[in-house]
Structure 1
Amino acid sequence: MMPDTSPEAVTKLFTRADGSYLFARWGRPIAPVAFGVEDSTVSILKGAIEAVCQLAGHEMAETDAELGSNFMVFFLREWQELVDTPNLDRLIPELGPLVERLKAADANQYRLFRFDPEGGIKACFVFVRMDAVMSDIPAETICLGQVVQSILLWSDEAFLGASPLALTGGDVAILKPDVAAVIRAAYDPVMPVAASDPSHAIRLAARIGLAS
């Protein structure tokens, strides 16, 4: 099946459940840190970030001048662990109500973004609850999937029922070609770091066409 990167398909990727169009990409280098996992998984996560940044033509950094780390990934067993993490509520003032919503939804992942004055992504908090489903997924697949879903502000419905990854032989996960094409085009220097007009999707689709 040929990848669908038509303007209509691209528009859907950034059209939220309420019908609004909202796009953003990172406006600064990504400085990651991970909590709740062994060093081997941290290496896998950083490798996934490096791969996606290379695809996008974006940069990584050891530290962020404003935040220290601006891409924080938390692996946990229960959502309550977030509430019990010292000082996390200072970074995320809405942490208490958020955790209650995640518990009620029996969610196993969530991503929270912060934005700079230009609308670009300046920070992302990724929470992964290692329930029975997540525990059966290889660490490489989890890390790549979370990085892909954090490299852009996708619609809250973009990947419902359809992962941005595809499995190859041996259960190795790779990025789907259409998703990779969108990421690459979204980081083209001629494209804006943020957009709220659906005409942006037409420009984005056109950049994909020029690159193919």
Structure 2
Amino acid sequence: MQDLTQQDIEALFTRADGSYLFARWSRALAPVVFGIEAESLPVIKGAIEAVAALAGLETVEMDPELGSNLMVFFCRDWAELPEVPNLEKLVPDLVPLVARLQGAGANQYRVFRFDAAGAIRAAFVFLRMDDQLAALPAEELALSQAVQTVLLWSDRAFVDRSPLGQLADGRVVLRPEIGALIRAAYDPVMPAVAQDKSHALRLAARMLPQD
């Protein structure tokens, strides 16, 4: 396993404006997936459940407050999103967002919602299945999205290197050091929200081998 230094961890939660911002989920995940064939649902939900288990999070059918709190939308064109019933109630300024995504040629976007303390209470994942995403195996795409939704990573995290790696037999798996970081981030002694870079030092310490 490649060790992550304090600086590596800082970078994963330091945004483009230089601010450090970390948040984790404060509740069980209640996922729902839209826009894919029924046979693909177990793959998507299986990846979410696997990453949730790594973090020590439960996955449930219903969130008592929101119903579903992790929504994943697949589409062929961003223009389809405003046609989804009531989506604009969940994602304010949906039409301007779609325009920005179209202008940027983006193929994925994530929106997080937070509770009063700043912990994650809901997330919305939007995937436009262009040639790049369509070429990925479903398991790889699902695992990548699950990892990127389990924590509030930096907007620059994983731009240069995927959170996933490939085994000698060709299987794609979560990089061990990223898995260890997720486990450390959900340690009960760690805060659910942090805005000071000293938090990265605490995470690094929790990833050290324990005697």
Can you list the C-alpha shifts for 1:94-140, whole angstroms capped at 9, x where unaligned? 21111111000100111100000111100000001100111110111
Q: Percentage identity across aligned positions? A: 56
Match in the other structure for 2:132? 133
Q: Which residue of the partner structure matches residue 17 of structure 1?
A: 16
How many matched pairs? 211
Residue 166 of structure 2 is matched in structure 1 by 167
| Alpha-carbon separation, structure 2, partners of 1:64 and 1:121 | 13
Summarize deviations over 1:30-89 as a string: whole Å, max 9, x none: 000000011221111111111111111111111011110000000000000101111100
The residue number in structure 2 matching 1:178 is 177
- Show the counterpart of 1:200: 199
Residue number in structure 1 paired with 2:57: 58
Structure-2 separation of matches of 1:146 and 1:211: 30
Cα separation, 2, equivalents of 1:210 and 1:198 = 22
- Give me the whole-angstrom Cα distance separating, in 2, the residues matched to 1:110 and 1:67: 21
Structure 1: give runs of 5+ residues left out of the alignment. none
Letter in 2 for 1:191: M
Distance 1:171 1:76, change over 3 A: farther
Q: How does 1:88-103 map to 2 (within 5 A)?
A: 88-103=87-102
CA RMSD across the alignment: 1.2
Match of 2:110 in 1: 111
SS at match of 1:111: strand
Extract unaligned runs of 5+ from structure 2.
Answer: none
SS at match of 1:209: coil
Alpha-carbon distance in structure 2 between the residues aligned to 1:58 and 1:87: 28
Q: Distance in 1 between matches of 2:22 and 2:178?
A: 14
Distance in 2 of aligned mates of 1:167 and 1:100: 35
The match for 2:123 is 124
| Distance across 1 between alignment mates of 2:30 and 2:168 | 32
Instruction: Give me the whole-angstrom Cα distance separating, in 2, the residues matched to 1:168 and 1:84.
Output: 41
TM-score where L is the length of structure 2: 0.97
